[in-house]
Amino acid sequence: MEVFQAMYLTPNLMGLLALMPLAVLLLLVTRQDISSRRIPNKLVLVGIVFGLILNGLLPLGWGFNSVIPGGLGWLVALQGLCVGLAVFLPLYWLRAMGAGDVKLMAMVGAFLGPNDILGVVLATFLAGGVMALVLVLWSKQLANLVQNIKLIVFGSLVKISAGQLPLMNDLPVSVGKLPYAVAITVGTFGFLVWQRMR
C-alpha cells in the first residue's frame, strides 16, 4: 500500500496523468476527422475545459511534461489557448485551414501553455508538410502541386497588389485534402516525446 501511495504521489506521474485527457481527446478527434472530415465542437470544448481545470487546480509547476511537472495556472492556460488560436486563425481566414483545426490547436494550448504550444505548432507544420508530400507522391499529383504553387504565388501577388486578400480556394485542381487533426495529433505527441527526451 505504501509503495502504491508513493508511486501515486510522484510529480512525474501526476504530469503524465494530466496529459492523458489530452491524448485521448486528440485520438478521438483524429478518428472523427479521418472518418467524416469534421472536428466535433463538443470534444474540443471538453478538452478546453479539462486543460483549464487541470492547469488551475493541480499543484503549480512548469507544465505537465516538464522538469518540474505541475499546472501552469488559469491565466497561463488561457494564454496558451489564445496563442494556439492566434497562430492558426490567419490560416483559417485565408481558407487554408478549417475552423475545427484552429479550435483544436487552441485546446492543445489550454493544456500546454503559451511556450509549449509554439513548439507544437512547429511540429504540426512539419508533420503536415510530410503528410502532404507523401499524399502528393502517393497519388502521383506532383505536377498539379507544382502548378498550384505557381498559381498561389502569382495569384497572391496580383491580389495583394490590387489591395485584396489572397485566398486558398482559387485553385483549379485539388491534389487532395488532409484531415489536419492527424498532423496536430502527430505534432503534439512528437513535441511531447522530444521534450521528454531532452
Q: Where are the domains of the chain?
A: 2-115
174 has pLDDT over 60: no
pLDDT (tens digit per residue) in 52-107: 999 999 888 888 888 888 899 999 999 999 999 999 999 898 787 889 999 999 99
C-alpha 124/C-alpha 181 separation (Å) is 9
Cross-strand pairs, 63:
70
Alpha helices per DSSP H over 37-71: 41-57
149 has pLDDT over 70: no
141 SS3 class:
coil
Q: What value does the mean pLDDT of the chain take?
A: 85
> Under a CB-based contact definition with an 8 Å cutoff, are residues 120 and 188 in contact?
yes
**pLDDT value of residue 16:** 84
**pLDDT value of residue 11:** 76
User: Would you place residue 116 in the very low, low, confident or very high pLDDT band (cuts 50, 70, 90)?
Assistant: very high
> Under a CB-based contact definition with an 8 Å cutoff, are residues 61 and 113 in contact?
no
Query: Above pLDDT 90, what percent of the chain?
Result: 52
pLDDT (tens digit per residue) in 20-51: 999 999 999 999 999 999 999 999 999 999 99
Grid coordinates representing 57 are 487546480
How distant is the alpha carbon of residue 13 from its chain centre?
A: 24
- Listed in sequence order, the residues at least 6 apart from 167 whose beta carbon sits closer than 8 Å to its beta carbon are 94, 95
21 against 152, higher pLDDT? 21
139 SS3 class:
coil
**pLDDT value of residue 9:** 56
Query: Above pLDDT 70, what percent of the chain?
Result: 81
C-alpha 26/C-alpha 94 separation (Å) is 25
